Amino acid sequence: MLVASPIQAQNNVAEDVEKLEKFLRSLDGDYVDPVATNALVEVGIKRMLEELDPHSVYLDPEAYARSNEPLQGKFKGIGIRFIMVDDTMTILDVTPGGAAELAGMRPGDQVIAVNEDTIAGRSLRSSEISQSLKEDEAEAIDMLVQRQYPETEQLALRLRKQDIEINSVPAYFMVDNRTGYIKMERFSSNTLKEFRTALDELNDNRLKHLILDLRGNGGGYLNVAIKVADEFLEDRRLIVYTEGEHQNRRELFATSGGRYTDGELYVLVDANSASASEILAGAIQDWDRGLVIGRRSYGKGLVQRTIEFSDGSAMRMTISRYYTPTGRSIQRSYDEGVDAYRQELRMRAANGELFSEDSIHVIDSLVYYTPKKRKVFGGGGITPDVFIPLDTSLSDDHLYDLKSRALIKGFAFQVYGKEKEKLLADYPSIEQFLDGFSFQDQHRAFEQYVERRGLSLEEDFITTYNDMLERTIKCYLTRFLHGYSAYHQALAYYDADVNAAKEQIARGTVKELGLK
């Protein structure tokens, strides 16, 4: 980068500040046209931070408030998740005990109007509606809801906003009688408490093997990730250390009393596992504590400090690098600039890395060794111990129209609406439903549903993609019937990475390598 050079001239900050102040005052007092200096300053700060590294950023007041929301663990809302089906806001699920559930809303309900403003059929994006609902400062929101099943009716609902918890651990369950699974989506203020609750409940079920799913976890609070790692490592094990030009080396160690220091551990990562997730996965890998499974992680090894401004905006400025216990920096290179850095993730697919382990390019000079003499790599994310290729069927071109128009979800809503009571009676448990429900009986109904929406399927399309369609529809029906946590249980049932962990358990790989 241009200004973040290891060889720097002696800074004269006072002179730099004087120059900037004179520049702004000259614009304000002498420029030919009116100038909004505040907007110019924002552009300038953004551009200057981009010259430093890809993770030093400026956030305006609205963006800063939005970015903090998931990490604070709660927000004022009505407790719904939704998608757009046929240009209509359609409820995916409702938060137990939330305003929507209390008002009688349920999955499949279509929202026609919000506060007397018609939103159905307007080609609005989900993000637009979501942001509008959050920015509405009223204590209650009025919604006109269309319910299709068991009979068509319109409901006028008033939903009073309340504190909605944002779970960072949305699901945990026993995969089998000795194997547990925990999904962790971020490291927020609530994460440690949620994680300990999940781990304690799984331990009550004689937990012997734990699958910790960090896929898609973009990070969060560093100190929380360290406390989670502490639950797995023995006393005085180094978890991570940080160091920067103006920051002395700071080492952070595990303490005694971790809740899961003896059982087998399997950590799932992918290209969207970043920062704090990589700290946790790196510590587990470096101490030979468990197996890391999946695809190479993001590669963010920079630590930011948040500096707030008086107008509610803030900047997150990189102050140090973090290093795993073996001394690895897993930060990807950004020498070619911010744009190239951001394009690198997309290039992984183009280069075949997501589908072939041989396509992962590691730097031989950045090889490190664990206490068990296993090779681990620095310079670009956490390379998994067990590589699992991405499922190519999920991105098949033939399925694009179905997915982009949410037609698979829409059909699942139809089945749920028509057959909810029968499905619950025939399949009392999630396991019975996943094992017993067959999409074969729904082929003609699915074809008709799609055709009514103007899409003609190719001959043998449904037969060719039966397995994928059945898996997807089963997962959504599980969600509608049993809730969001159960949805993750259904996803895990078919998940290649989860099943790879189960295969490693069956093989006894962790015992064989002494990773405990």
pLDDT tens for the chain, 516 residues: list them.
Answer: 445 555 555 889 999 999 999 999 999 999 999 999 999 999 999 999 999 999 999 999 989 988 988 888 778 889 999 999 888 999 999 988 889 999 999 999 999 999 989 998 888 888 889 888 887 888 899 999 999 887 889 999 999 998 888 899 999 999 999 999 999 999 999 999 999 999 999 999 999 999 999 999 999 999 999 999 999 999 999 999 999 999 999 999 999 989 999 999 999 999 999 999 999 999 999 999 999 999 999 999 999 999 999 999 999 999 999 999 999 999 999 988 888 999 998 899 888 898 888 888 777 668 999 999 999 999 889 999 999 998 776 566 667 788 888 999 999 999 999 999 999 999 999 999 999 999 998 999 999 999 998 888 888 889 888 999 999 999 999 999 999 999 999 999 999 999 999 999 999 999 999 887
- Whole-angstrom Cα distance, residue 293 to residue 284? 12
Q: Are residues 369 and 466 part of one domain?
A: no
Asked whether residue 65 is domain-assigned, the answer is: no
Q: Are residues 385 and 398 part of one domain?
A: no
Q: Are residues 360 and 237 part of one domain?
A: yes
- Whole-angstrom Cα distance, residue 73 to residue 49? 28
Q: Which residue has the tokens 């128009």?
A: 405
- Write the Ramachandran bin of 216: left for phi over 0, alpha for psi from -120 to 50, otherwise beta: left
Q: Which residue has the tokens 């100190």?
A: 223
Asked whether residue 513 is domain-assigned, the answer is: no
φ and ψ at residue 294, rounded to 5 degrees: 135, -130
N-terminal to C-terminal alpha carbon distance within the chain: 42
Strands (E), 263-411: 264-269, 291-294, 302-308, 314-323, 367-369, 375-377, 386-387
Per-residue pLDDT at 3: 54
- The pair of structure tokens assigned to 474 is 């089963």
Q: Are residues 266 and 223 part of one domain?
A: yes
Asked whether residue 507 is domain-assigned, the answer is: no
Q: Are residues 144 and 208 part of one domain?
A: no
**How many structural domains does the chain have?**
4
Range of the domain at 88: 74-165
Q: Are residues 156 and 104 part of one domain?
A: yes
Bond from prior residue into 150 cis (ω within 30 degrees of 0)? yes
Indicate the Cα dihedral angle 389, 393, 396, 402, nearest 10°. -140
- Looking up residue 235, the CATH number of its domain turns out to be 3.90.226.10
Q: Which residue has the tokens 């829409």?
A: 410
- The pair of structure tokens assigned to 178 is 């000795």
- Whole-angstrom Cα distance, residue 350 to residue 392? 13
Q: Specify whether the CB–CB gap between 258 and 195 falls below 8 A.
A: no
Per-residue pLDDT at 121: 82
Q: Identify the domain boundary among 145, 165, 185.
A: 165
Q: Are residues 190 and 251 part of one domain?
A: yes
Q: Which letter does DSSP use for residue 440 in this model? A: G
Q: Which letter does DSSP use for residue 358 in this model? A: G
- The pair of structure tokens assigned to 453 is 């929406």
Q: Are residues 147 and 176 part of one domain?
A: no
- Whole-angstrom Cα distance, residue 367 to residue 381? 13
Q: Specify whether the CB–CB gap between 65 and 312 falls below 8 A.
A: yes
Closest CA to 71 of 191, 227, 198: 191
Percent of the chain that is helix, strand, coil (3-state, to 5): 40, 20, 35
Q: Identify the domain boundary among 373, 390, 407.
A: 390
- The pair of structure tokens assigned to 46 is 């953004």
Q: Report the Cα 354 to chain-centroid distance in Å.
A: 18
Q: Which letter does DSSP use for residue 72 in this model? A: H
Q: Are residues 218 and 130 part of one domain?
A: no
Q: Are residues 380 and 231 part of one domain?
A: yes
Per-residue pLDDT at 216: 97
φ and ψ at residue 272, rounded to 5 degrees: -100, 10
Asked whether residue 307 is domain-assigned, the answer is: no
Asked whether residue 485 is domain-assigned, the answer is: yes
φ and ψ at residue 248, rounded to 5 degrees: -65, 160
Q: Specify whether the CB–CB gap between 290 and 267 falls below 8 A.
A: yes
- The pair of structure tokens assigned to 290 is 């468990």
- Whole-angstrom Cα distance, residue 39 to residue 35? 9
- Looking up residue 136, the CATH number of its domain turns out to be 2.30.42.10
Asked whether residue 508 is domain-assigned, the answer is: no
- Whole-angstrom Cα distance, residue 390 to residue 4? 36
Q: Are residues 435 and 374 part of one domain?
A: no
Q: Are residues 4 and 32 part of one domain?
A: yes
- The pair of structure tokens assigned to 87 is 């240009």
Asked whether residue 410 is domain-assigned, the answer is: yes
pTM, full prediction: 0.92
Closest CA to 296 of 335, 348, 225: 348
Per-residue pLDDT at 459: 81
Provide the sign of the torsion angle of the four alpha carbons 487, 490, 495, 501, taken in this order. positive
Per-residue pLDDT at 210: 98
Q: Specify whether the CB–CB gap between 479 and 487 falls below 8 A.
A: yes
Asked whether residue 114 is domain-assigned, the answer is: yes
Q: Specify whether the CB–CB gap between 147 and 109 falls below 8 A.
A: yes
Count of CB atoms situated within 10 Å of the CB of 44: 15
